[in-house]
Amino acid sequence: MDKRTALNLYTVMRKIRRFEQRSTTLFGENKIWGTIHSYAGEEAIAAGVCEHLRDDDWITSTHRGHGHCIAKRADLGKMFAELLGRESGYCRGRGGSMHIADTSKGNLGANGIVGGGIPIATGAALTAKQLGTDQVAVSFFGDGAANQGTFHESLNIAAIWKLPVVYVCENNQYAESFPAKKAFAIEDIATRAAGYGMPGVRVDGRDVAKVYDAAGEAISRARAGGGPTLLVCESYRHEGHYYGDPRKYQTKEEIEGWKTTFDPLIDARAWIVREKLGTEAELDAIDRGIDDAIEQSVAWAEAGPPASPLTPEEIYASH
């Protein structure tokens, strides 16, 4: 991997982590309404996958969607503004955290329905096929969504039509409070791919280089007309299901153990330095730049106007 790519990956991961940390602070200050779901711990997946995507490629995301959005090159200020319910937010304060979309960058939206984005990405891939373009669609979803009916129906449709779509299952070990080890009778979710007649790949979702390589292969295959792939990234969610989750389904030891042993950011730093793709000083400079950008984005978002009153045109395009 070249230096530029490695540092890009690190930058995206670091941005996501800092965005989540800053959002949590804003939430604690009662500036965010509703609920937020932190992507901390899963950064390597969004970063490694989206590094291969162009602005005209599509993604569908989840309720835990900030990371995908950032990796698909969203504007941090407009993201914070949305969380703060401002007119200057991505959805003009209509959607909030769980519905951020950025169609100009091919982000077809976070989704409050578990598994809701899987058929939508499948349909985006159908568009690419119909129009004869080389665009691809990526659907991010969790282990919970892999047990929804949309997973089954969509993977089958994509396989029989050979659609240019990559299904990225982020196994963060919990479907809300339900542990994956109880929700699946199989150990490797990727083995399900065989049932649809598509390649299934399992990768360590904490290792951004491995995610990058596996995603690159799947996305190239899709772009070249080779059809869909199921890519399962093993991961761990540092925080609870939502901000404030009492996490009664986990032990303290488990949480602390994972947090200290499973941190893709620490791993990424070590890997970059070890492979001489960057120095500690360079990485520190990236960190400082991100911290500044985050603070500027929050300030911009907080200065934004409140959400404007509702109008009929935003519900119906033609009315």
**Residue 309 interacts with other proteins (CB under 8 A): yes or no:** no
Stretch binding other proteins (CB under 8 A), from 23-31, 65-73, 91-99, 183-191: 91-99
Residue of 20, 43, 51, 102 that binds other proteins (CB under 8 A): 102
**Residue 172 interacts with other proteins (CB under 8 A): yes or no:** no
Stretch binding other proteins (CB under 8 A), from 40-48, 116-124, 167-175, 283-291: 116-124
Residue of 121, 222, 277, 286 that binds other proteins (CB under 8 A): 121
**Shortest distance, position 157 Cβ to other proteins, whole Å:** 5
Residue 114: CB partners within 8 Å, gap ≥ 6?
62, 63, 141, 142, 144, 145, 148, 175
Closest CB to other proteins among residues 132, 246: 132
Cα(232)–Cα(177) distance, rounded to whole angstroms? 20
Distances, alpha carbon 55 to alpha carbons 118, 122, 135, in Å = 19, 18, 10
Cα(218)–Cα(160) distance, rounded to whole angstroms? 17
**Residue 108 interacts with other proteins (CB under 8 A): yes or no:** yes
**Residue 131 interacts with other proteins (CB under 8 A): yes or no:** yes
**Residue 61 interacts with other proteins (CB under 8 A): yes or no:** no
**Residue 149 interacts with other proteins (CB under 8 A): yes or no:** yes
Closest CB to other proteins among residues 153, 204: 153
Phi, psi dihedral angles at 221 (to 5 degrees): -60, -45
**Residue 120 interacts with other proteins (CB under 8 A): yes or no:** yes
Residue of 24, 95, 184, 247 that binds other proteins (CB under 8 A): 95
Closest CB to other proteins among residues 28, 305: 305
**Residue 316 interacts with other proteins (CB under 8 A): yes or no:** yes
List residues binding other proteins (CB under 8 A): 58, 60, 89-95, 99, 101-104, 108-109, 111-113, 116, 118-128, 130-131, 137, 149-150, 152-154, 156-157, 160-161, 313-319
